[in-house]
Chains A and B, each alone.
Chain A
Amino acid sequence: MTRSRRYELLDTREINRETFVEPWPEAGLIVAESPLDPRPSLRMEGGQVVELDGRPRAQFDAIDSFIADHALDLAVAEEAMATPDLHIARMLVDINVPRQAVLRLAAGCTPAKLCAIMAHLSVLEMMQGLAKMRVRRAPANQAHVTNRREHPALLAADAAEAGLRGFAEVETTVGVARFAPLNALAILVGTQTGRGGVLTQCSVEESLGLRLAMLGLTTYAETLSVYGTEGAFVDGDDTPWSKAFLASAYASRGVKVRFTSGTGSEALMAHAEGCSMLYLEARCLCVTRGAGSQGVQNGSISCIALPEALPGGVRAVLAENLLASMLGLEVASGNDALASHSAIRKSAKLMLQFIPGTDLIFSGYSAVPKADNLFGGGNFDAEDHDDYSVLQRDMQIDGGTRPVSEEEALATRREAARAIQAVYAELGLPPISDAEVEAAVVAHASTDMPSRDVVADLAAADAFLASEQTVLAVVAALRRRGFERIAANILELGRQRVAGDYLQPAAIFDRDFRVRSGINDPNDYAGPGTGYRLTGARWEELQRIRTARSPRDFIAPQIGAPSPRLIELGPARRGSQTEVILAVGPAFGRELTRTIGGLEHDDVLAAILTGVAEEGLTARLVRVRHSSDCAEIGHTGARLSGSGVAVGLQSRGTTIIHRRDLPRLSNLELFPQSPSLTLESYRQIGRNAARYAKGERPTPVPVQVDNWARLRLIVKTALLHRRETEQVRDEPPVELGFDWEPDV
């Protein structure tokens, strides 16, 4: 086949490394509205559900039973099911309908009914709905902190930086399971260095997870997975009852619990039963609610590439976030696992959660490099920190983080690395050397770290668990070594565990270590002027990205001492010889002395005059004072020129060759790309102007085109033009003398 050069190029684009397939309902490869999805139905008899989504109770599977008996609010179920889907869909986007009214009805909807409501909504409408239904008033964010070498000083330093960046929760995990207590310890000490009140978890199997919580090393758990079919549930080695029991077990130990579900898991486990991903997720969410989990991490999570392979996949993922929030669940809305090769696609997908704001926009923003992320690589990584800060600043959106200067980052990393070094020394764990501390302070990745004796560390981890030492030994160690602030933060977490306020929906701690949850800070969005608004000090904080500068000294490089070679002679007169006029702007050589490209004005004048002289003509110099506009400067010069030809030159370097008989906005040649102009360009401009003056037809001066110049220099361009315009006076042009001899 003939190959198009363009299609050959398109083939190499990142987006074409993705897999895209057509829907196949029987295999569960359909994101929503599978022909095999049941129609919504609910029948009640004697206060009990006897039919759910087309299935009579006698044929209920375990999930149907659990939903019927635990999830549905039977007091409103009949009313909810009788309300048209479209009506509830419209309630979601109607600012006159409060969140509570939607929560009330959604509590009585069956999974199929919930999906039928979603079928009416566009992505934009879902985002509107999510902004209203989010549990907590202000959005927040969660980070993942791991590293491939499981280095404690690096874990602590990265956790501290994540805390300082504003992440409300930090999750770690293990490469080698036995590292769990030490990794949990490092994350705890690190986060409480960066900011007191960051919740932490270590994702490991349940019995170990519970032990870590019992020792006071973790405060939340979110890897309690649920599934939408019985087959997938059983393959996951659980039932709704076992998972609900586990949730109670965690809560009994003061641990905040969040379930995990997401589109695509059932298809991946070959147990989709021909149903759509969204329908099965709706069942998961009903189970989650029924089990009494305060929230869920959903948005496909680790299966994200599967819905994204299918049409409407990203929309369905947003729909599942919205469904969870409609059920009153805190939503940690995915965006964690690697979802795309394409930076365009991954960023576009993020916007669906970022713009409305969710309780936790990421259920794990990778605060480490991709290679160090033991969750399989993050969709956004430490390398994207500045991009993310800019997105918040661009849209005036609180994405749950804040920009951190290099100095702040280094300081908190050093404190955390020293603190974990002290804890290791006090608890008799294998020493962390000063060299390791210093490496962790400046490290980006674990490859920047010296290696440790893994065998000794693992033995110490085993011994630590066996010793029954708890977080209190850690607090005591920190106090003995002078880390009182970190110790105080960890002890306060202990008091908070006793109070249990963070077990409530969407609970996190703010920067003052005060709990913020759906109880004391519920989302009250009801249209413009209501709900959480990014204003005041927080907005100012998000504006101060580390690369933002004051524009006030932006043009300092263009301002030097006024040229002593340039003097004003008197009113400019009209010439009669075959000459070129070189007309400059009001600020030229005085208020501004260099072009935007950094060329001295004197040198630019000399170059143009040289070019004119090379063609055997002379040029007169005039300053235009009544306008800073390039065309007007040039045309004014042309009207004074004996030949009718002039070069117009703005102080920033933008140049025009003009002729008297042309309309003002026309020209012979225009050079708008002033940053690309060299002294050689200016010399050629002088030559061409002279040749026009002689009545010749020269080849236009070639110029380089730099596509990025405008992007890079637009602020400077604006400010240079502003300074030139400030010098505009309602006065006629003045003749200038320039102390220069032609070098020809």
Chain B
Amino acid sequence: MEDLPYPLREHAAGTLRAASGRPLNEITEAALDAGELTIADTRISAATLLAQAEVARRAGYPQLAENLARAAELTAVPNTEVLRIYDRLRPGRATHAELLALAELLEREYSAHRCAGFIREAAAVYLQRGLLRKA
């Protein structure tokens, strides 16, 4: 793994940024005491998730890498929206059209192409297996 910067905390501390854009090195007690820190300063960014996805892919964990890449997309999606989509994906919750609409929303609003593809795939399987909401 010599060619990978993992752990990023050690080897990429100088370039890592939180979801808020704050550099990792500026997440400090002093900043907290000065009232500068918000919770977004301790959230992982899409770019870092993609870097971790690449670490996983190169180490031979392609499915984990794919999951982390989907996660990178979801960093932009608000909590309530994430939970709503999760609920729609449960069995018998959404019609085929509703799932496709969700996929389109993810693509349009959040450029979440991987997640959108994943939901379209689910919609096709749900259709075949009777896992959709009866319209």
Q: Is residue B39 within 8 Å, beta carbon to beta carbon, of the partner chain?
A: yes
A216/B42 in contact, CB under 8 A:
yes
Complex Cα distance A451/B48, Å? 45
B72 in the interface (beta carbon within 8 A): yes
Given contacts A471-B39, A501-B9, A505-B64, contact A249 B44 (CB under 8 A): no
Pick from B16, B52, B119, B131: contact of A504, CB below 8 A: B52
- Residues B64 and A292 in contact, CB atoms below 8 Å apart: yes
**Which A residues touch B18, using CB under 8 A?**
498
- Chain B residues lying within 8 Å of A491, measured Cβ to Cβ, are 27-29, 32
Does A294 sit at the interface, judged by CB under 8 A? yes
Is the CB–CB distance between B52 and A503 below 8 Å?
yes
User: Is there contact, CB below 8 Å, between B61 and A500?
Assistant: no
Q: Are A237 and B16 in contact (CB under 8 A)?
A: no
Q: Give residues 481-513 of A contacting B (CB, 8 Å).
A: 484, 487-488, 491, 494-501, 503-505
Q: How far, in angstroms, from A237 to B43 measured CA to CA in the complex? A: 29
Q: How far is the CA of A251 from the CA of B82 in the complex (A)?
A: 12
Residues on A with beta carbons closer than 8 Å to the beta carbon of B41: 494, 498
Whether a CB of chain B sits under 8 angstroms from the CB of A518 is yes
A498 touching B82 in the complex, CB below 8 Å, given contacts A237-B91, A242-B90, A248-B70: no
Question: Which residues of the partner chain A approach B118 to less than 8 Å between Cβ atoms?
Answer: 241, 244-245
Out of B12, B39, B65, name the residue touching A214 (CB < 8 Å): B39
Tell me whether B63 is interfacial, beta carbon within 8 Å: yes
Known: A245-B118, A495-B9. A328 touches B61 (CB 8 A): yes
Chain B residues, CB < 8 A from A246: 86
Q: Is A237 touching B63 in the complex (CB atoms < 8 A)?
A: no
Q: Mark A201-236, 1 if CB is under 8 A from B, else 0.
A: 000001100110011100000000000001001100
Query: Is B98 located at the chain interface by the 8 A CB criterion?
Result: no
Q: Which residues of B contact A233 (CB under 8 A)?
A: 91
Are A245 and B86 in contact, CB atoms less than 8 angstroms apart? Answer: yes
Question: What class of interface size applies to chain B in its complex with A?
Answer: 35 or more
Note all chain B residues with C-beta closer than 8 A to A479: 29, 32-33
Partner of A500, one of B10, B52, B67, B91: B52
* Distance in angstroms between the alpha carbons of A237 and B89 in the assembled complex: 10
Asked whether, in the complex, the Cβ of B42 is within 8 Å of the Cβ of A471, the reply is yes
- Nearest-neighbour CB distance to chain B for A258, whole angstroms, equals 12
Asked whether any CB of chain B lies closer than 8 Å to the CB of A411, the reply is no
Cβ of B115 within 8 Å of any chain A Cβ, yes or no, is yes
A472 beta carbon closer than 8 Å to chain B: yes
Q: Is the CB of B42 within 8 A of A241?
A: no
Count chain A residues whose beta carbon lies closer than 8 angstroms to a beta carbon of B. 69
How many Å from the CB of A471 to the closest CB on chain B?
A: 7
Return the chain B residue nearest A66 by Cβ. Answer: B125
Taking CB atoms, residues of chain A closer than 8 Å to B67 are: 244, 247-248, 251, 291-293
Main DSSP-derived SS at the A contact region? helix
B64 to chain A, nearest CB (A): 5
- The contact string, 1 if C-beta is below 8 Å from chain A, for chain B 6-37, is 11111011001111000010011100110001
Residue from A471, A484, A505 within 8 A of B61 (CB atoms): A505
Q: Are B60 and A103 in contact (CB under 8 A)?
A: yes
Let me know if A676 is at the binding interface, CB within 8 A: no
Cβ of A391 < 8 Å from any Cβ of B?
A: no
Cβ of A515 < 8 Å from any Cβ of B? yes
**Chain A 234-273 near chain B by CB (<8 Å), digits 1 or 0:** 1001110110111111111110000000000000000000
- With A239-B122, A244-B118 known, 7 other A-B pairs at CB within 8 A are A62-B126, A245-B118, A250-B71, A252-B73, A498-B27, A515-B7, A518-B61
| Interfacial residues, chain A to chain B (CB-CB below 8 A) | 61-62, 65-66, 69-71, 73, 100, 103, 206-207, 210-211, 214-216, 230, 233-234, 237-239, 241-242, 244-254, 289-294, 328, 470-472, 475-476, 479, 484, 487-488, 491, 494-501, 503-505, 514-515, 518-520
> Taking beta carbons and an 8 Å cutoff, which residues of B are in contact with A?
1, 4, 6-10, 12-13, 16-19, 24, 27-29, 32-33, 37-39, 41-45, 48-49, 51-52, 55-56, 59-68, 70-75, 77, 79, 82-83, 85-86, 89-92, 115, 118-119, 121-122, 125-126, 129, 131
Could you jot down 25 A-B contacts, CB within 8 Å?
A62-B125, A69-B121, A73-B62, A206-B86, A214-B79, A216-B42, A237-B90, A241-B119, A242-B89, A246-B86, A248-B70, A248-B71, A251-B70, A252-B49, A291-B67, A292-B63, A293-B64, A472-B38, A495-B9, A498-B16, A498-B42, A500-B51, A504-B52, A505-B59, A519-B55
